[in-house]
Amino acid sequence: MTTEDMSQYPLRLEGDNIPMVRFANVRKSYGALTVLDHLNLDIDMGEMVTIIGPSGSGKTTVLRMLMTLETINGGVIYVDGEPLTHMEKNGVLVPANPAHIRRIRSKIGMCFQHFNLFPHMTALQNCMEGPVQVLGMSKKEAEERSLELLDMVGMADKANQYPSRLSGGQQQRVAIARALAMRPKVMLFDEVTSALDPEVIGEVTNVIRKLVDAHSLTMLMVTHQMGFARDISDRVCFFHSGVIAEQGSPAELFGNPQNERTKQFLNAVLESN
């Protein structure tokens, strides 16, 4: 990690309108390869932000850093006003210890391209695992809540099935229920429909639509489905080579892109569809 003057970063975000998530000057590199270069991005409470962009532009990395699956090489990530990647020590920010990371991370949930359900547990057990083990909830309460969530994603009738007996679309819906069972404030979706057959994509996007309509969740989504992004996003960010080349409302970004790269990308995507 290069030495950086940490005093430029506030110990916590204050004021009336603090963002739910803030990336402040965040840098990420793998060896000599800089994947994200001084990323600055605020996501408001309840906002649905979609990230689009060519392969390798750093979209997944943004989500993984926020989920703490990757460490960062510079800058600070704030969640709900508090630093996630750092903690206060003697009045300055220092890299966070595991306990701090765990405390802040509890506000974030994530769904993956390949679902990553626990194969040795039924759909219901998958959903109950976090609440019982991590939140210390009683089995009875966790079961009730998990069944409600499975019902919400249309999987109540498969609650006792193991993942190997479920289709991709069904597994992804269980994965969404599992993440929601932890009551996150921020949900991350990384290409959750990319591994699915075209005919079942709708069953997953419909669940995400429901979440958007409920308004309470803040969401950050990476997708290759431009139509879906246009429909449900409050804001769309176009990533290119590790920077946000352009961002705006779906109408602006899809209807009247300003950046040459955005135009090229959208044209290429439209042609391939």
Partner 1 sequence: MEWRWSWVWELLPQFIDATGKTLLAAGGGYLIAVVLGLVLTLAQRTPWRPVTVVVRELVEFIRSTPLLLQVFFVFYVGPQFGINLSPWTSGLIAIGVHYAAYLSEVYRGGIENVPKGQWEAATAINMSTVQTYRRLIIPQALPPAIAGMGNYLVGIFKDTPMLSVIGVAELMHTANSVGALSYRYLEPYTMVGVLFLAISLPTAFFIARFEKWVRRKMGM
Ligand X SMILES: Nc1ncnc2c1ncn2[C@@H]1O[C@H](COP(=O)(O)OP(=O)(O)OP(=O)(O)O)[C@@H](O)[C@H]1O
List residues binding ligand X (CB under 6 A).
Answer: 30, 33, 35, 53, 55-61
* HEC readout, 66-112: HCCCCCCCEEEEEECCEECCEEEECCEEEECCHHHHHHHHCCEEEEC
Give the residue from 111, 228, 108 showing the smallest Cα distance to 174.
111
Supply the minimum distance, in Å, between the C-beta of residue 72 and partner 1.
Answer: 15
Closer of 122 and 262 to partner 1 (Cβ):
122
- The number of CA neighbours under 13 Å toward the Cβ of 178 is 25
The residue of the chain with the least Cβ separation from ligand X equals 60
Supply the minimum distance, in Å, between the C-beta of residue 59 and Mg ion.
Answer: 5
Among 28, 43, 50, 60, binds Mg ion (CB under 5 A): 60
Q: What are 231's two structure tokens?
A: 């429909």
Q: Does 233 bind Mg ion (CB under 5 A)?
A: no
DSSP code of residue 164: G
- How far apart (Å, rounded) are the C-alpha atoms in residues 192 and 75? 28
Closer of 64 and 145 to ligand X (Cβ):
64
Closer of 60 and 85 to Mg ion (Cβ):
60
Binding mask 7-46 for partner 1 (x = CB under 8 A): ----------------------------------------
- How far apart (Å, rounded) are the C-alpha atoms in residues 273 and 24? 35
Q: What are 188's two structure tokens?
A: 């991350």
Supply the minimum distance, in Å, between the C-beta of residue 64 and Mg ion.
Answer: 9
Closer of 37 and 129 to partner 1 (Cβ):
129
Transcribe 9-54 into DSSP letters.
Answer: S-SS--SSS--SEEEEEEEEEETTEEEEEEEEEEE-TT-EEEEE-S
Supply the minimum distance, in Å, between the C-beta of residue 8 and partner 1.
Answer: 29
Q: What are 113's two structure tokens?
A: 């391209």
- How far apart (Å, rounded) are the C-alpha atoms in residues 146 and 159? 9
Binding mask 182-221 for partner 1 (x = CB under 8 A): x---------------------------------------
Closer of 108 and 229 to partner 1 (Cβ):
108
Give the residue from 171, 156, 30 showing the smallest Cα distance to 111.
171
Supply the minimum distance, in Å, between the C-beta of residue 36 and ligand X.
Answer: 8
Q: Does 134 bind partner 1 (CB under 8 A)?
A: yes
Q: Does 50 bind Mg ion (CB under 5 A)?
A: no
Helices 168-180 and 198-214: angle between axes, nearest 10 degrees: 20
Residues in touch with partner 1 (CB under 8 A): 67-69, 102, 105-106, 108-110, 112, 114, 116-122, 129-130, 133-134, 162-165, 175, 178-179, 182
Residues in touch with Mg ion (CB under 5 A): 60
